[in-house]
Structures are given as C-alpha cells and as structure tokens.
Amino acid sequence: MVSGAQPAGWTDERVETLTKLWMEGLSASQIAGELGEGVTRNAVIGKVHRLKLSARAKPTNSAPRARPPARPAPRRVASPSAGMSSPMSSGAAKMARPAMQASRPQSIGATALAMDPQMEQQLYVAPAAAELFIPEDKRLSLLQLTEATCKWPIGDPLSKDFYFCGQHSLESGPYCDFHSRRAYHQVDKKRR
DNA sequence: CCCTGATTCGC
DNA sequence: GCGAATCAGG
C-alpha cells in the first residue's frame, strides 16, 4: 500500500499555492491544472470564494460584482419534465454570418491565457494559417449542400464562382472544423 | 465553439 | 467545507 491519493482536501500548502497563483492572475483552470489532476477549475473557484479571495485586481474602484437579482433556483438532479421536443432539425438553412473575407490576420494557438510568468518567453506569433483551399471538385453550390456539408460560403455570392466549402461538417454545427472555429473565434473579440 | 469567473445547493 | 452543475459574460 503505497498509494498516496489525496484527490481533495485543501491542505495549507495547497491553499497557499492556490492563493498565490490566484493573486498572480492565473485563471482558475490553470491553477487547477497546476494543483493536480484531482482538482477542477470549479473546485478552485469554489475554494477561492470560500476564502473570500475573489476580486484580485481591484484598482481603487470598489464595484461590487453586479449580482444577479434573482436565481430561479436551478435545482439539480430530478428533472421531471423531459419535454425535449425538437422536431425541427434545422437543415441547411442555418447560415450565420461568416465574413466572406478570404484573408485576415488571425491569431490562433493561444486562448488568451492570463499573464503567466512562465509563459512570457513562450510567446510566439502563429504563422497565420492561410485560408483553406478547396479543390474545385470539392466545391459545392447552394443546392448541393446537405446536412453533412460545411456551409461556409466562399467568394462573392453574386459571382459565378461562388461556392461552399463542402467539407464534412461537424455534428455541432453547419461548418467543418476549420470554419466553425473561424466563425466563432474570429468574430467578436473586444467590444468597442 | 472556446473560454472565463460567479453562484447555488446537494452532499 | 466541498465542488458539480449551472449561469452569465467575452
């Protein structure tokens, strides 16, 4: 018996680490990963709150987190009504609003990790992946789209050489992996 | 979609 | 006290 499995249990040491990292601005998930596999980011956040550590970088403005006025009491477990009726399988008519720009300075690779001292020297600019090139024989016209084809539009919709990506789309969306990521991660990004 | 923290509440 | 589930925002 030499198994030392202490999945939970906030020892003073761990609490210290937690506090330190939290103060340094690391995200809950990062701290969780640092503490060990048995720790989830929820655990970290929960502990942080219990320690009343939240609000780490408060300049001089004591703006108490806008607390939601009322909680509908999301009782866990016990879900009597399972009325999950979704007869509409929204076929291919789900074009969102992917900008039809072919090139754009994107920055993928790093999901904005908090400033981590160890990460500073790992900074490097991603080689800006070029837009996907779809071979002609893979390109699809509007009428050729199916539930399983990526519906990312390419080119000018009014032009003759307008076509759709046509790659196999994800279960979770109307686009292929490449374009679904592009669709979300690109748009938005700082409201101002 | 990914992520973030905030909150609630059964355990 | 703990943390999963959930919520809300970016």
> Average per-residue pLDDT in chain A?
68
Lowest mean pLDDT among A33-42, A61-70, A136-145: A61-70
Distance A137 CA to C9 C1' (A): 42
pLDDT digits (tens, 9 = 90+) for A116-149: 444 544 554 544 445 778 888 889 998 999 888 9
pLDDT at A42 over 90: yes
- Chain C nucleotides with an atom closer than 7 Å to a protein C-beta: 1-8, 10
Distance A79 CA to B6 C1' (A): 23
Q: Backbone phi, then psi, for A78, in 5-degree steps?
A: 65, 90
Looking at chain A, the whole-number percentage of residues with pLDDT higher than 70 is 52
Looking at the DSSP bridge assignments, the partners of residue A154 are: A163
pLDDT value at position A31? 92
Question: In whole angstroms, what separates CA A98 from the centre of its chain?
Answer: 18
Protein residue with the closest CA to the C1' atom of nucleotide B9: A75
- Chain B nucleotides with an atom closer than 7 Å to a protein C-beta: 1-11
pTM of the model: 0.49
Provide the CB-side half-sphere exposure for A150 (13 A, CA): 25
Q: Residue-wise over A124-156: b if at least 16 C-beta within 10 A, else e?
A: eeeeeeeeeebeeeebbeeeebeeebbbbbbee
